[in-house]
Amino acid sequence: MQAWKSVAVKKSLALAGLCLAACVSISPAQARSEHHYRRLSHPAAAPAVDAAATNFGPTAPGVSSIVIDAASGQVIASNGADIPRYPASLTKLMTLDLAFQALRAGSMTLDTQIPVSYHAAAVEPVKLGLQPGSTISVHDAILAMTTMSANDAATALGEYLGGGSEPRCAALMTQRAHALGMAQTQFYNASGLPNPGQVTTARDLAILARDIVVNFPEDQPFFEVQQFNFRGHQVYSNNQMLKSYAGATGMKTGYTDLARHNLVTSASRDGRVLIGVELHEPSWGDTYQQMTALLDNGFGGHVPVTAAQIASRQPAVASPVQHLAAATRPHVPASRPAAAQLASRARQPADGSWVAQLGLFSRVSKARIEAIAARQISGAGFTRIARVERHGKTLWNAQVAGLSLAAAHEACDAMVARGNSCRIIEPRTDHLAMETTNTGDGT
């Protein structure tokens, strides 16, 4: 670390020159879109970017990577983790971090309607194609960011968080980054579209991802969504780790010409959660391959993903996130009556809406283990973890939702055989039932 600081001091003038040159040659219109997305609008093709590599700074040759233990923050392995890099759409993780804080504080809800400005509507792809003067719910904006990485949704959310100003939001993002210890990170927008001054490091992004994983577990389901319905259009996730890596719980992809291919992944195995960061990779194939190796090394071996695991992740998590928010955050009446349940109505048939309630646990890791075990037993549904405050103590509620009645009984029977409590919640009464649930074994 000391050697890095020395190099940074000696070459600060070089970096300043690089940034000045980038200011002249790069415009937002030159941003390339994320990989394999489903575009809902059809803007003109962006001109090519002259991305000549330099020996120092964000475009320096080579890659940057790090893998850490989420519980302890311990670094398991790293390579070039302190080299400044352009974050591209990984920027959205910080926008989401601010949003999760606002949701928990009750200053907005998932039903809150965000106005779409001309600026937000005009940003470069990837985007939903939002129209100026329209609105989008916080719920849908978050899902659009975690799945297809929509820049218009991120910009609109950033403007809302910044009191109507994206630059003000960027200042809050930078302030939050430095408070977390992300000393080499600076933000200038909420989406990750190119800005020569917007830089971070693999180490800093690992700190950010850990903050989300550890401190906002109730919002983790957003990152596990593989598809959701937005106003009649099916929107798909571009994060292939959800399909290819056993235990992957999502996070974020990012790409621009200068930033190249970037990925943050969280994964859980046997109750242990690791966070990996890969920056400045030459291709998506290399990115996913290196992330797989990085996590396998941290876990101590490779576990092939099965077809059953992929199938169990298929349902979108828009509905459970709605329920989690209602159970853990103050409720503010929404101006839009039922639009926030759009994905929920499309995804939850009457025979797949039963819930296996597994109990309250004193540790989030234990709640996750039990929920994952129950989901594997049932072979269907999706896990939900919610934070609960009771008598000044933080507990964690675990469920498997989206089950048929038979699958819910099967899951509960198996969990009771393991010595755990379990009860079945019928459709339309699913409210996490936290006030009447016994505390499970939190060890």
Would you please indicate which residues are annotated as catalytic (active-site) residues? Answer: 89, 92, 149
DSSP 199: B
Give the residue from 286, 266, 270 showing the smallest Cα distance to 68: 266
- In sequence order, which residues have a C-beta less than 8 Å from that of residue 181 and are 6 or more positions away? 207
Cα 278 from Cα 206, distance rounded (Å) = 10
Cα 319 to Cα 119, 157, 359, distances in angstroms: 30, 20, 20
Q: Report the C-alpha gap between 106 and 21 in whole angstroms.
A: 43
Residue 443 buriedness (CB in 10 A; 0-12 / 13-18 / 19+): exposed
Do 124 and 28 touch, CB atoms closer than 8 A? yes
Angle among Cα 175, 178, 182 to the nearest 5 degrees reads 135
CA distances from 433 to 32, 128, 399, 427 (A): 46, 35, 10, 13
> ∠269-273-276 over CA atoms, to 5°?
110
Residue 259: enclosing H or E segment and its boundaries? none
CA torsion through residues 255, 18, 158, 249, sign: positive
Cα 195 from chain centroid (whole Å) = 22
Query: Is the Cβ–Cβ distance between 325 and 142 less than 8 Å?
Result: no
3-state secondary structure of 78: strand
Those residues whose C-beta lies under 8 Å from the C-beta of residue 187, and which sit 6 or more positions away, are: 91, 94, 170, 173, 174, 177, 198
Distance CA 228, CA 316 (A): 6
DSSP 70: T
Q: In angstroms, rounded to a whole number, what is the distance separating the alpha carbons of residues 253 and 261?
A: 8
d(CA 348, CA 382): 12
Token pair 């621009």 in the structure block, residue: 256
36 backbone φψ class: left, alpha, beta (φ>0; ψ -120 to 50):
left
Cis amide leading into 126 (omega within 30) = yes
